[in-house]
């Protein structure tokens, strides 16, 4: 029930951020349309060019940072599940974070996918069960 409430809260937050962003862009566009014809003749071309170059460089920097964080999020595949370097297990079907299953024991590791509503069990290639102890040594 708490997860549903979290999901609803997240959706409401997304809609609010979208609405506020749209309003901000509309206001900025309106102000710019009125102010620019007055201000533009007063600004030197060198200043505009330097602002453009600065903006371009900041965008390139932002792109590099975005690529860096995107690559950092990469998963690796082992025992039939997806993993992150911090030891978190992710569902191979929906790529959501797995929860520890109540069926899990020291000898048999089992996870629960809250999205697929299925038990996800790490298995060796030959099909035998992976222990929690073995998983903890992996990281």
Nearer to Zn ion, 102 or 137 (CB): 102
Q: Is 94 in the site for Zn ion (CB under 5 A)?
A: yes
Q: Are 99 and 93 in contact (CB under 8 A)?
A: no
Q: How far apart are CA 129 and CA 125, in angstroms?
A: 10
Q: Is the CA virtual torsion 38, 41, 44, 48 positive or negative?
A: positive
Q: Are 82 and 90 in contact (CB under 8 A)?
A: yes
Q: Is 113 in the site for Zn ion (CB under 5 A)?
A: yes
CA Rg value for the chain: 25
Q: Is 115 in the site for Zn ion (CB under 5 A)?
A: yes
User: Scanning the structure block, which residue is given the tokens 């290639």?
Assistant: 125
Q: How far apart are CA 85 and CA 98, in angstroms?
A: 15
Q: Are 107 and 131 in contact (CB under 8 A)?
A: yes
Q: Which of 116, 123, 132, 135 binds Zn ion (CB under 5 A)?
A: 116
From the CB of 111, what's the least distance to Zn ion, in Å? 10
| Contacting Zn ion within 7-66 (CB under 5 A) | none
Nearer to Zn ion, 93 or 138 (CB): 93
Which listed range, 43-51, 58-66, 86-94, 99-107, lies at the site for Zn ion (CB under 5 A)? 86-94
Nearer to Zn ion, 89 or 113 (CB): 113
From the CB of 74, what's the least distance to Zn ion, in Å? 18
- Binding residues for Zn ion, rule: CB under 5 A, are 91, 93-94, 113, 115-116
């Amino acid at each position: 029930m708490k997860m549903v409430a979290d999901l609803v809260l997240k959706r409401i937050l997304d809609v609010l951020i979208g609405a506020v962003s749209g309003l901000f862009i509309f206001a900025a566009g309106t102000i710019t349309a009125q102010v620019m014809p007055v201000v533009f003749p007063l600004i030197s071309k060198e200043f505009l060019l330097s602002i453009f170059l600065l903006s371009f460089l900041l965008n390139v920097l932002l792109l590099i940072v975005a690529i860096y964080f995107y690559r950092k999020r990469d998963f690796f595949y082992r025992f039939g599940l997806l993993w992150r370097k911090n030891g978190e297990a992710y569902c191979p079907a929906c790529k959501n974070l797995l929860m520890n299953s109540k069926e899990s024991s020291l000898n048999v590791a089992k996870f629960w996918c809250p999205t697929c509503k299925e038990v996800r069990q790490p298995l060796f290639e030959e099909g035998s069960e992976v222990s929690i102890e073995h998983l903890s040594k992996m990281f």
